[in-house]
Chains A and B, each alone.
Chain A
Amino acid sequence: MSLLKRYVVPRLLQWVVVVVTGVTIAFVVPRLLPTDPVEMTLNRVGTFQFMDPQAVESFKSALEELYGLRGTLPQQYLGYWRRLLTGDLGPSLGAFPTPVATIIRNGLPWTVGLLSCTAVTGWLVGIILGVLAGCSPRSLWSQLLDKAFITIMPIPYPILALVLVMLFCYYIPIFPMVGGASGQPALRLSYLGSIVQHAFLPALSLIVGGTAFRFIMAKALASTTVSSDYVQFARMAGVSRRNIILRYVLKNTMLPQITDLGLTLGTVFEGALITEMVFGYPGIGYSLYTAILQADFNLMLGITLFSIVGIATAALLVDLSYPLFDPRIRYT
């Protein structure tokens, strides 16, 4: 009961604050800017075909209805929330009349699949390598890894992805350039194999970026843990090196990393969006890219709102699982 009150309820409140803030920004900002999305959409449609004035008027009012630009500001705000809560994000303008929600639903499995695999892999590999390197800071391989990751870590993600595309799609063409799979969806080995083949390069770029960051953090944490009194004591008491690394150092290094995982999910998600654009991977990020190319405001707004809510929820889940790992939160 006290855990619920002390830990779970504040986290839930925090989630509400995050979602309300994000959704409100997405509501306010387009209204503050000088450009009008309705005019913009009208111009885009108008360049392709002639429309008589009456049709333009009715189209305009339909668009205003669609974007929730009718009525006073508070009314608009309430209507905006109502549509959001019922999951009605309107139709996409680029692929009219497919609803935005359907496009998101189609892209979601690809994004979530790629994201979860790479986030977990990069996280684990980074921590394990970092702890090992922190435990033997003077060995040659740990120094080499350190240098390599320090160089990779600050490089902006799109640059990393571009370099990988240049290397493995153009100069050594061993991976396909676009797409998520080839052939008909079926539970056959060839289809599953093609999924892996298509995902390999995007996944690699995400894992390399994620690993570098985790490695540097885990190494710093591990090297302070190694020099702490209780580890020194365990060493003197004759605890084996393997046990020290696994039971003493690794376990204590994991905790801050879990908190951090929740906070950096947003960044990881952004990385996944860029990956999909660079590699032409058919997830949400690619839909976002087509939305930019086709000037599809509705789809953009929908994906933005969806990603704010999605990331806030994922971060909440990470936070709520924290007591499982940290006994201090469970028992005090």
Chain B
Amino acid sequence: MAIVRDLFKYNAGFRVGAILLLIVALLAVLSLVSPYAPGDRRVVPKDRPPSVQYLLGTNSLGQDVFWLLTFAIRNSLLISGLAVLIGRSIGVLLGSFSGYVGSLVDRALSSLADAFIVIPRLPLLMLISFILKGQVTVLSLALLLGLLDWAWPSKRYRSQILSLREEEFTKTAVFSGMSTLKIILREHFPFLLPFLLADMVSGFMWAVGMEITLSILGLSDLSTPTVGTMIYWAQYYQALLARRFWWLLAPIGASVLIVVGFYLVSTSLTEYLDPRTRLKRIQIGG
């Protein structure tokens, strides 16, 4: 808690990022008290510009853009969060497995990971969700994104573990009779934590972007409001030609808030957690 307070006080990037994320979180929580259900249509007058009664205006489907946005943010965060969890679990497991076991297993897993890094994922995602058309749900979209996003993290953890294995303290632990599992959890995991954090944020941003891309193309679950499907429907009803900019600007603004907020918080946190910059800070202070 003290760390968060200090970062908030002294690091401008962290401050801006944290405020942006607070706004996003607040909007997502507001979806719980929305007067409408997420699927409601034709409940308010159509195509009204932003006003006191309708904060962000209403759209051609008769939905209140502000309350729709709260649902959209919640669902987008949910999809990306799940995708990150799935992708990182696979990545951490495979990466540490190949790092600890080594030899042939390591070589096979590493080249598979390299292959997944080079392969363009968007056409594959499009092919899969195209075949699944109409059956994509929030959960399956998250699963799909997670299954395609484990290669980078796995590669990173593998190289980290390879270097950790050679450290002096690992040998000390082994010779003093610590079990392998304990070494991994107690001695090595703390070193992986900063990487995991930075990595989760970049995975999160990728998932947000992919959800938006697939939805704009009409390849996701179009009846669930997400940031991407809001853009899809706005485009579908020609919001731009009809100059209903509020309908399109709301999801665009929300996506920018989400990604910039996460990015700023993660860079300032990694900077803080990185042992090298920490040393520098201590020297300056002392």
Q: Does A206 contact B (CB under 8 A)?
A: no
Question: Which B residues are in CB contact (< 8 Å) with A303?
Answer: 123
Closest to B249 in A: A166
| Closest-CB distance, B217 to chain A (whole angstroms) | 6
**Are A270 and B255 in contact (CB-based, < 8 A)?**
no
**Are B240 and A35 in contact (CB-based, < 8 A)?**
no
Report B110-125 residues with CB < 8 Å from chain A CB.
111-112, 114-124
Contact with B132, one of A35, A262, A266, A277 (Cβ below 8 angstroms) = A35
Q: Does B219 contact A (CB under 8 A)?
A: yes
CB contact under 8 A between A156 and B208, given known A37-B131, A166-B240: yes
Q: Does B162 contact A (CB under 8 A)?
A: no
CB contact under 8 A between A154 and B130, given known A270-B120, A303-B123: no
CB contact under 8 A between A159 and B252, given known A18-B115, A166-B240: yes
**Are A288 and B126 in contact (CB-based, < 8 A)?**
yes
Q: Does A30 contact B (CB under 8 A)?
A: yes
Question: Which A residues are in CB contact (< 8 Å) with B32?
Answer: none
Q: Does A61 contact B (CB under 8 A)?
A: no
**Are B133 and A158 in contact (CB-based, < 8 A)?**
no
**Are A25 and B124 in contact (CB-based, < 8 A)?**
yes
Report A31-62 residues with CB < 8 Å from chain B CB.
33-35, 37, 40
Q: How far is the CA of A218 from the CA of B223 in the complex (A)?
A: 42
Closest to B245 in A: A166
Q: Which of B23-31, B66-74, B183-191, B258-266 contacts A (4 or more CB under 8 A)?
A: B258-266
**Are A154 and B111 in contact (CB-based, < 8 A)?**
no
Dominant SS among interface residues on chain A: helix
| Closest-CB distance, A298 to chain B (whole angstroms) | 11
**Are B217 and A292 in contact (CB-based, < 8 A)?**
yes
Q: Does A22 contact B (CB under 8 A)?
A: yes
Contact with A297, one of B122, B130, B213 (Cβ below 8 angstroms) = B130
**Are A33 and B217 in contact (CB-based, < 8 A)?**
no
Q: Which of A88-96, A188-196, A247-255, A307-315 contacts B (4 or more CB under 8 A)?
A: A307-315
| Closest-CB distance, A162 to chain B (whole angstroms) | 7
Q: Does B174 contact A (CB under 8 A)?
A: no
B243-261 toward A: CB 8 Å interface, digit per residue (1/0)? 0010010001001100110
A33, A40, A162: residue with the most chain B Cβ atoms closer than 10 Å: A162
**Are B127 and A155 in contact (CB-based, < 8 A)?**
no
Q: Does B38 contact A (CB under 8 A)?
A: no
Q: Does B142 contact A (CB under 8 A)?
A: no
**Are A156 and B212 in contact (CB-based, < 8 A)?**
yes
CB contact under 8 A between A311 and B205, given known A17-B111, A155-B256, A170-B240: no
| Closest-CB distance, A78 to chain B (whole angstroms) | 21
**Are B135 and A292 in contact (CB-based, < 8 A)?**
no
Question: Which B residues are in CB contact (< 8 Å) with A289?
Answer: 217
Q: How far is the CA of A33 from the CA of B135 in the complex (A)?
A: 11
Question: Which A residues are in CB contact (< 8 Å) with B240?
Answer: 165-166, 170
CB contact under 8 A between A277 and B120, given known A156-B209, A162-B248, A297-B130: no
Q: Does B86 contact A (CB under 8 A)?
A: no
| Closest-CB distance, A280 to chain B (whole angstroms) | 13
CB contact under 8 A between A17 and B122, given known A150-B263, A163-B252: no
Question: Which A residues are in CB contact (< 8 Å) with B219?
Answer: 292
Q: Does A273 contact B (CB under 8 A)?
A: yes
Question: Which B residues are in CB contact (< 8 Å) with A34?
Answer: 135
Report A254-288 residues with CB < 8 Å from chain B CB.
262-263, 265-267, 269-270, 273-274, 277, 288
16 additional A-B residue pairs with CB within 8 Å, beyond A153-B263, A266-B118, A312-B118: A25-B119, A33-B128, A35-B132, A35-B133, A150-B263, A150-B264, A156-B259, A157-B209, A158-B213, A166-B240, A265-B118, A270-B122, A292-B130, A301-B127, A308-B124, A311-B118
Closest 9 CB pairs of A and B: A156-B209, A270-B122, A154-B263, A154-B259, A21-B115, A304-B123, A266-B120, A18-B115, A22-B119
Q: Chain A residues in contact with chain B, CB under 8 A?
A: 13-14, 17-18, 21-22, 25-26, 29-30, 33-35, 37, 40, 150-151, 153-159, 162-163, 165-166, 170, 262-263, 265-267, 269-270, 273-274, 277, 288-289, 292, 297, 300-301, 303-304, 307-308, 311-312, 315
- Of the A-B pairs whose beta carbons lie under 8 Å apart in the complex, a sample of 25, sorted by A's number, is A14-B111, A17-B111, A18-B115, A21-B112, A22-B115, A26-B127, A29-B128, A30-B131, A34-B135, A154-B205, A155-B256, A156-B255, A159-B252, A159-B255, A163-B252, A170-B240, A263-B117, A274-B213, A277-B216, A288-B123, A300-B127, A300-B130, A301-B127, A307-B120, A311-B120
